[in-house]
Chain A
Amino acid sequence: MDIIFSSVAQGLLWAILAIGVFMTYRVLDIADLSAEGTFPLGAAVGVSLIVQGVPPVAATILAMVAGMLAGLIAGILHTKMKIPALLTGILMLTGLYSVNLRVLANRANLSLAGHSTLMRTLQAAGVSRLASTAIVGAISIGLVVLILTWFFHTEVGLSLRATGNNEIMAEANSININLMKVLGYMLGNGLIALAGALIAQNNGYADVGMGTGTIVIGLASVIISEVLFRPKKIAWHLLVIAIGSILYRLVIDLVLTLGVQPQDLKLFSAIVLALVLWLPELKWLQGKEESRSVK
């Protein structure tokens, strides 16, 4: 039971990463690998600011801003310098590795031992460790879903969605598609860095290697949610990604308790994602048959 509650609590934090990935992968229709660099960037900025005495809330927000700046650079690489999205991501995650080491003061990891975090602030008020993770996760994901739902229905938000959906149509309607792409990159990477800062606080440290596999986790959560819930409205889509993220966490925690060794976990998560990516194909075939039989 504790394991399930722990998976749910962790899943809420990881859901923010998944929504960040959703921003580029689904809304903009760009496969952005920058996540592997911006996730540890958020963690590094958040943790090092807290260690330097910045209050956890401010440190978390600044970590998100750092992610948005990284997104701005990625967006410029892709739109202004016309570097293909995949290469843009590789450039970002390679370059950010050095940046992250710098932020961590040339160390591979930085501990938060003895410092306050968002979770520890709650624990000081008498909340259990698990509950503090769940509360921080729920509040964060709630805010992200609310703000993004509002944003996607604004004029700019709609222009952003149109750009990802049909560039030619967007341009023919005088939308600045490059600006929209840069904005999408910024929002996506800002959210991913925010997730990094929250998860580092929950773990109690930031590690320069913690980015490896984040894109796999994010994509798996997004696609699990789509296969299971087939969301149509954007607000519902954001909410079910959180559920997808929790389910993914449950699967991972389950296999760990079943005896999969932690060093094999990345291989396992890659296999899970491969299967999950395959799933819509199968579903799609079923769906086609269903609709045929209905007709």
Chain B
Amino acid sequence: MTMLLSIENVNKAFGRGTIHENCVLRDFNLVLNTGDFVSVIGSNGTGKTTLMNCIAGSYGVDTGEIRLGDMVLNKQPARRRAKYIGRVFQNPSTGTASDLTIAENMAIAWRRGMRSGLGRSVDANLRATFRERLEFLGLGLEDRLDVPVRYLSGGQRQALSLLMATLRQPKLLLLDEHTASLDPNTSLQVMELTDRLVREYRQTTLMITHNMQNAIQYGNRLIMLHEGHVVADVSGAEKEELTVPLLVEMFRRQANGDLGLSDKVVLTA
């Protein structure tokens, strides 16, 4: 197993030096191996999304080092990191350009990390490739290549976002609660699709979720964040045996029974 992502002693605070200073990541450490499919759980405000944003480059870190393979990511702007890192956001509107057609959106994902010139953005060859990839989704989108994405449902847009994020097989795929704003049935479909894509490409993936069942069911490893630390890291046989009640119990122990109201709601749901 080779190490893909390593996060060492990362600190990230917002409003540093003000009375509102909020330390979100504290001496944070995490290592992901190639091929890992890791789900990340943790209560609100515990640093999950901040972690994603620090890895993707939307935020810089205060101290510490983020490495991908043998590259140090710290100094690279988000658009450079995008060459190696695919992202799917919580809001289905964020991952796609709504006024552009399905084919045009895919063409943009197709050229990720490449220099753009004055060549035609979508040609017959690419259309055939896109159609083939869209068939994988099984949503009939392959026959709607020239439809602007704004006419797609949330679930369809999220499926397209997933396909776009993995189109050029990035080294790392970041999923930020990508099923949270979908209805339960669509959420399930997108989750199944995620699993199929990750398996097909053996895609190293970091997935934030609020859904305990998903966190247990999918992936080979589960980590729990609390107050900017990894407080539990479960994989292999141990993860196979995890159940939602066990996970909730772990959660309670870590939080010393001091859970916010919203988490109680989430955990008992």
Contacts and interface: CB of A to CB of B under 8 A. Distances in A.
Given A170-B108, A173-B82, A154 B99 contact: no
**Chain B interface size range:** 20 to 34
Interface in B94-150: 94-100, 104-105, 107-109, 111-113, 116-122, 148
Contact of B119 (A154, A162, A168): A154
Interface residues of A, number: 23
Given A173-B109, A173-B112, A157 B79 contact: no
B56 interface: yes
Contacts of B56: 172
Contacts, number: 86
Contacts of A165: 97-100
Contacts of B121: 153-155, 157-158
B206 to A, nearest CB: 15
Which of A151, A159, A161, A165 lies at the interface centre, i.e. has the most chain B CB atoms within 10 A of its CB? A165
Contacts of A170: 97, 108
A290 to B, nearest CB: 16
A162 B82 contact: no
A166 B104 CA distance: 13
Contacts of B86: 172
Given A168-B89, A174-B80, A162 B118 contact: no
Nearest to A155: B116
B78 interface: yes
A221 B269 CA distance: 54
B178 interface: no
Interface string A138-167: 000000000000010111111101100110
B118 A156 contact: yes
A151 B80 CA distance: 24
A173 B112 CA distance: 5
Contacts of A169: 94-97, 108
A165 B108 CA distance: 13
15 contacts: A154-B118, A155-B111, A155-B118, A155-B121, A156-B116, A158-B104, A158-B116, A162-B97, A165-B99, A165-B100, A170-B108, A173-B164, A174-B83, A174-B112, A174-B113
Interface of A: 151, 153-159, 161-162, 165-166, 168-177, 232
Interface of B: 56, 78-80, 82-83, 86-87, 89, 93-100, 104-105, 107-109, 111-113, 116-122, 148, 164
